Amino acid sequence: MKKLIIFSVVVLLQACATVNMMPKSADEIDFYGEEGKTGWSQYKHFENFRGYTKEQVFDAAKIGLGNSGFSLRKVDLSNGLVIGEHGMTMHDWNVMAGVYFIENGNHTKVAIIAEGSKDIGFSGDVTSDGWTGKILTGMREYLNDTYQIGLKVDKND
């Protein structure tokens, strides 16, 4: 019985998503690769932020993750990454998400990777929950609100 309990604990711990599962820098990312579900519980999304520097996207990534319910776990501007962890959801023990970015000319290329726990759960793998889209929406809102103020129209004018 003791061996069964130890085995169960080990399996549960290995099923959790961790920072170590995520790429260590933007150099490891193929920014032109496959999107959507790319692994057991991994989802990728790519986006171009035209006219924004990597510093601006770096700040937006922190806001986008935070507004989506993620706590920041690893933040590194020089390696082009911001990694956050979301606690337990109805379908996952935890979810890790990384925002990776590189500057390319006058725009910044962004890759968002969401990685869920490796469990089966009651309803199978349903990790996505739109995490990459939620993070991107938060990033866009921050960038538009912060850097596009001159483009907003005041109806009173």
User: What is residue 116's predicted lDDT score, i.e. its pLDDT?
Assistant: 78
* H or E stretch at 59: helix 54-67
Residue 17 is predicted with a pLDDT of 54
Distances (CA, A) of 21 to 41, 44, 52, 117: 12, 14, 28, 10
**CA-to-CA distance for 32 and 106, rounded, in angstroms?**
18
What does the pLDDT read at residue 87?
76
* pLDDT for residue 135 is more than 80: yes
Delineate the domains of the chain, giving CATH numbers in brackets.
2-150 (3.30.310.80)
Hey, is 91 helix, strand or coil? coil
Tokens linked to 20: 């170590």
The answer to pTM > 0.85 is no
| Burial class of residue 79 (count of CB atoms within 10 Å of its CB; 0-12, 13-18, 19+) | middle
pLDDT in tens, 7-64: 444 444 444 555 567 899 999 999 998 887 766 678 899 999 999 999 999 999 999 9
Instruction: Compute the average pLDDT of residues 88-111.
Output: 86
- Give me the count of residues in the chain: 157
